[in-house]
Amino acid sequence: MTTANPFIDTYFKTGTLDFLPEGHFIDGAFQRPSHNRTMESLDPGRGEAFGTFTAGTADDAAAAVDSARSAFEKSWRDTAPVERARILQRASELLMAELERFAIVESLDSGKPLNEAMGDTKGAARAFSYYAGACDKLEGASFPLGPNYLGYSIHEPVGVAAQIIPWNFPLSTAARGIAPALAAGCAVVAKPAEQTPYTCLMLAELLSRAGLPNGVFNVVTGTGLEIGDPLTRSTGIDHITFTGSVQTGRKVMQAAAEDITRVVLELGGKSPVIVLEDCDRAAALDGVLGAIFENAGQICSAGSRLIIERGLHDSFLQDLVARTKALTLGHGLRDPNVGPVNSAEHLAKIDGFVSRAKERGASIVAGGNVTTDPETAAGWFFEPTIVDAVAADDELAQEEVFGPVLTVQVAEDAEHAAVLANDCQYGLVAGIYTSDFKTAHRLARTIDAGQIYINEYFAGGIEVPFGGNKKSGFGREKGIEGLKSYCKTKSIAAKIS
């Protein structure tokens, strides 16, 4: 394959890239690990390794925490907010200047189409720019205690924050936690997913070039057992931000409880998209399609349940199925509509959900099968899938598949749609398509979710707080709420008469 991009051409010719980082990033530089064990990073589009990275140990995690603690106490927490802002803004500018390089590695490591990886990289740059602007605006409050007293509050950085980053959005999820932590004056130790280590390591080196003092941001790579677990149990960690499964989130919370460490958990989702008869049909079709098939459905907030009003069901589904079957699959660097899923293990999990549905006699109206890259017959792919007439208590309506699988439920009216939307253990986001302003906002109040999208799925951006209710977790990222997650509020009251 020949493209206009030399990095992509090199990859397809050699099977690797020569600028992939090596080692952990600790105390401002790439460091040799405490041993020489490595792990392979796999290209989901080919199903084969394209690089190796360090498989760290608890000793490496401890060294990163010590570096972060020293940098926090000696310099970063007392660095003027305006100076922190300059560094974060410079990081944003560097990310935009190196957009293509980061996006190619992100696509290759995660499998997602290149255009999506470009959008994620731009979003990461926007996160650093947004929080750069917030550094010197983190203001406290004054309390009216009367003429003989002075009462006020200040926001102080919580300390050293651990970031445990998932594989589905490696760079953008890292940025939405790292940027506010640094803006608040915290130091950070990041553990990227073992499936997708590279862009977080690249980001660490970029932040150093942007002027971040040594030790303020550290990255250790390896497995959850050998790196993630020691970080969550470390007495040198003051805050943990974790994005991942409910099962692992529960373990993180239990480990954090041992030392009463603060946590923000963004866990799973089974998010509904309500489509009512009076909707803008074209916008709803676009929204439903993107909500489930972007990143091959591997999004915590994916719109994986279509709840559609009965009178619209047949014609809408006919169009949706036609558009689903027209989607192209392929290697992420060839920028198809839908890329591979991240691993062979995850592909088997998705296939298990759909195979069990078939055994129950489910009405699969599109897709439903494991497949490969049409160009190479390689990689880990699952056909974009739609399952119609799914009962509310069915596994496909209740459990997070985390793949390109859309379940369809029929509602009699808006009130019934709200009941179906809330009949789930998760409460991350929900989408609503209707032209009736009153109905939209009544549903938004009724649905138990952390964020509601009206007439555009994935609306908003870094400015809008994000997080879940119920088993989708707690705490908020993004927006000023996300900045406050990395602060502790101190109140001062003084008698001055």
Give me the active site residues, please: 266, 300
Task: Kindly report the number of other CB atoms within 10 A of residue 456's CB atom.
Answer: 13
Tokens of 29: 């530089």
Q: Rounded distance, CA 104 to CA 11, Å? A: 10
Q: Rounded distance, CA 340 to CA 371, Å? A: 9
Short-list 455, 412, 415, CA closest to 431: 455
